[in-house]
């Protein structure tokens, strides 16, 4: 089981900020901004490149939750990131969207 599936299963504790039957949002263990939250589908989807028409409704829901969580956190400005593949810095092979905010972010994205 991957680390995020273990978090979903409750085998690894996490600081949850939102949960429903389809997705989970929790604080990143190694925050790279004052606010750093991960939003993930509960289904094990390996990466952004596994998004298809078949799971598009689920992904739309996950992104809608990301927008709601950002509002709940009081973020007026923020960045949504999904690293896809090792050269992009993906270290956990379970699709996740980073919400980064709470401070002025770097103008560089790479």
Which residues form the interface with ligand 5GP (CB under 6 A)? 3, 12, 14, 26-30, 38, 83, 89-92
Task: Find residue 110's DSSP bridge partners.
Answer: none
**Distance (Å, rounded) from C-alpha 14 to C-alpha 4?**
10
Residue 91 contact partner, candidates Zn ion, ligand 5GP, none, CB within 5 to 8 A by sort of partner: ligand 5GP
Count CA atoms closer than 13 A to 63's CA, side-chain side: 12
Q: Is 44 in the site for Zn ion (CB under 5 A)?
A: yes
**Distance (Å, rounded) from C-alpha 89 to C-alpha 92?**
9
**Distance (Å, rounded) from C-alpha 26 to C-alpha 108?**
25
Nearer to ligand 5GP, 27 or 79 (CB): 27
Residue 94 contact partner, candidates ligand 5GP, Zn ion, none, CB within 5 to 8 A by sort of partner: Zn ion
Q: Is 96 in the site for Zn ion (CB under 5 A)?
A: no
96 has catalytic annotation = yes
Q: Tell me the catalytic residues.
A: 96
């Amino acid at each position: 089981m991957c680390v995020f599936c273990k978090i979903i299963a409750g085998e690894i504790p996490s600081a949850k900020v939102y949960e429903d039957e389809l997705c989970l949002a929790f604080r990143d263990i190694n925050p790279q901004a004052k606010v750093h939250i991960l939003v993930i589908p509960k289904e094990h989807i390996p990466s952004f490149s596994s998004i298809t028409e078949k799971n598009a409704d689920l992904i739309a829901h996950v992104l809608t939750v990301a927008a709601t969580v950002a509002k709940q956190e009081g973020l007026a400005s923020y960045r949504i990131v999904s690293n896809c593949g090792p050269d992009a810095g993906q270290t956990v092979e379970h699709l996740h969207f980073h919400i980064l905010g709470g401070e002025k972010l770097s103008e560089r994205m790479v």
